Amino acid sequence: MTFVVVARYRTRPGERDDLLPLLDEMARESRKEPGNLAYRAHTGTQDEQLIVLYEEYVSEDAFQAHCDSEHFQRIVLGRIVPRLESREVHRLNPRA
């Protein structure tokens, strides 16, 4: 079984377009991780402040390694999170 993470970001007004290149960089770096199976950012079609991330890993340990990575610390925690209005992270185990 794989391990899935869905994160829902709500940007501060006017921040989304500046954050998208950072998310592109994060996706490129995350896809290089040995335990990463997928990393996709989605933007809201009716809500410009909404960004949803879909991430899939071979295990929960692989996700933890992702969180401990230099690029996660630098990009997500250092540059993205401070510019968000809210952030929800859901850890999921697929059924069947």
Q: Which residues contact 76 (CB under 8 A, 6 or more apart)?
A: 26
Which residue in the block uniquely carries the two structure tokens 């850890």? 91
pLDDT in tens, 76-95: 999 999 999 999 999 998 88
Residues 27-46 have pLDDT tens digits of 999 999 999 999 999 999 99
**Mean pLDDT, the chain, whole residue set:** 96
Domains and CATH numbers, the chain: 3-92 (3.30.70.100)
Q: Say what the pLDDT of residue 1 is.
A: 83
Contact by Cβ (8 Å): 45, 37:
no
